[in-house]
């Protein structure tokens, strides 16, 4: 069984139509800022018929939505559809509904799915800051047979739930960030590639592609590397002004099988990760 984990600094609600079917889905919650209290998740357990209807939006909001769709596709997400809906399961506001293909052949999520979910959240929150009138993100994953394997609502961030320092474009180049990131400690893992790119809003996305030959200690290795990379990025953002908004860590074994996929959104306070059952559980703090 594969496992997908999420931690978000905002309210999350999971619909009752989420199909587990062998997926381990674990939600942990952390405040968007250290001084905030930890919010509580709420399970939507309505027995009423589910009613959804598309919302008519003005031309300004439509242009923001069109830009969001382009960004998702440019980031390589397998988008099936995106629209703003009124949904009876989320009565407090309109929701942006995003349906994605998963490469999964069964009821288990694929290794890349948590990364897709996180990027959807990031782009939706950016769109909200730009003027798209939404209060939640409704994301659905369909496997190769078209079956729902993940279906959940996540509240969008309010203006006071966004990390400081991301309201202006970074002045540090991608090449300079690449050099700085290579100074991180990787706990003996082989480094296949480290790269950074500029996001649509002038921030940076950093990707670490690593390899661990020792399955017996891979869970500890991944956790130590994660701590080191987090510290490096926090330092680069706070001291260098790098404004790395998103970072991905992808760890494979000696023959190329994925072991651990992790993505952290520094701007909106959400992390998601996946791990293989080939290694012991990684207790991400």
pLDDT at residue 7, rounded to an integer:
52
Per-residue pLDDT of the chain (285 residues; tens, 9 = 90+): 445 555 543 333 333 233 332 233 333 322 222 222 222 333 344 445 667 788 889 999 999 999 999 999 999 999 999 999 988 888 778 999 999 999 999 999 999 999 999 999 999 999 999 999 999 999 999 999 999 999 999 999 887 787 777 777 788 888 888 888 888 889 889 999 999 998 877 889 999 999 999 999 999 999 999 999 999 999 888 888 889 999 999 999 999 999 999 999 999 999 999 999 999 999 887
User: Using CA atoms in the order 102, 108, 109, 111, what is the torsion angle rounded to 10 degrees?
Assistant: -110
Task: State residue 12's pLDDT score.
Answer: 36
For domain 174-266, the CATH architecture is 2-Layer Sandwich (3.30)
- Report yes or no: 96 and 82 within 8 Å, Cβ to Cβ: yes
SS3 of the chain? CCEEEEEECCCEEEECCCCCCCCEEEEEECCCCCCCCCCCCEEECCCCCCCEEECCCCHHHHHHHHHHHHHHHHCCCCEEEEEEEEECCEEEEEEEEEEEECCCCCCCCCCCHHHHHHHHHHHHHHHHHHCCCCCEEEEEEECCCCCEEEEEEEECCCHHHCCCCCCCCCCCCHHHHHHHHCCCCCCCCEEEEEEEEECCCCCEEEEEEEECCCHHHHHHHHHHHHHHHHHHHHHHHHHHCCCEEEEEEEEECCCCCEEEEEEEECCCCEEEEEECCCCCCCCCC
Could you give the residue range(s) of every CATH 3.30.300 domain in the chain? 174-266
What pLDDT does residue 4 have?
Answer: 54
Q: Give the pairing of strands 204-211 and 190-198.
A: antiparallel
Residue 199's pLDDT is 82
Distance, CA of 119 to CA of 138 (rounded, Å): 13
Sheet order of strands, 24-29 included: 24-29, 3-8, 270-275, 258-265, 244-252, 204-211, 190-198
Structure confidence at residue 276 (pLDDT): 93
Q: What is the pLDDT of residue 6?
A: 54
pLDDT number for residue 217: 92
């Amino acid at each position: 069984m594969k496992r997908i984990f999420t931690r978000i600094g905002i309210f999350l609600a999971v619909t009752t139509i989420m199909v587990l079917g062998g997926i381990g889905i674990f939600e942990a919650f952390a405040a968007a800022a250290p001084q905030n209290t930890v919010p509580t998740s709420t399970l939507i357990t309505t027995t009423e018929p589910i009613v959804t209807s598309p919302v008519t939006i003005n031309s300004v909001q439509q242009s923001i939505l069109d830009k969001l769709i382009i960004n998702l596709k440019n980031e390589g997400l397998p988008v099936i559809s995106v629209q703003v809906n009124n949904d009876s399961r989320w009565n407090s506001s309109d929701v942006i509904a995003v349906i994605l293909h998963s490469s999964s052949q069964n009821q288990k999520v694929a290794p890349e799915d948590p990364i897709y979910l996180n990027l959807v959240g990031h782009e939706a929150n950016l769109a909200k800051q730009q003027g798209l009138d939404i209060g939640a993100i409704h994301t659905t994953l369909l496997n190769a047979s078209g079956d729902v394997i993940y279906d959940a609502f996540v509240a969008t961030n309010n203006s006071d739930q966004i990390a400081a320092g991301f309201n202006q474009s970074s002045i540090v180049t991608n090449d300079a960030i690449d050099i700085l990131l290579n100074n991180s400690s990787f706990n003996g893992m082989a480094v296949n590639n480290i790269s950074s790119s500029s996001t649509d809003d002038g921030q940076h996305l950093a990707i670490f592609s690593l390899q661990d030959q020792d399955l017996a200690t891979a869970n500890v290795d991944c956790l130590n590397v994660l701590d080191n990379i987090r510290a490096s990025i926090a330092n680069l953002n706070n001291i260098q002004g790098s404004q790395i908004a998103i970072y991905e860590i992808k760890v494979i074994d000696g023959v190329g099988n994925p072991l651990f996929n992790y993505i952290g959104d520094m701007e909106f306070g959400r992390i998601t990760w996946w791990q293989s059952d080939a290694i012991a559980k990684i207790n991400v703090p």
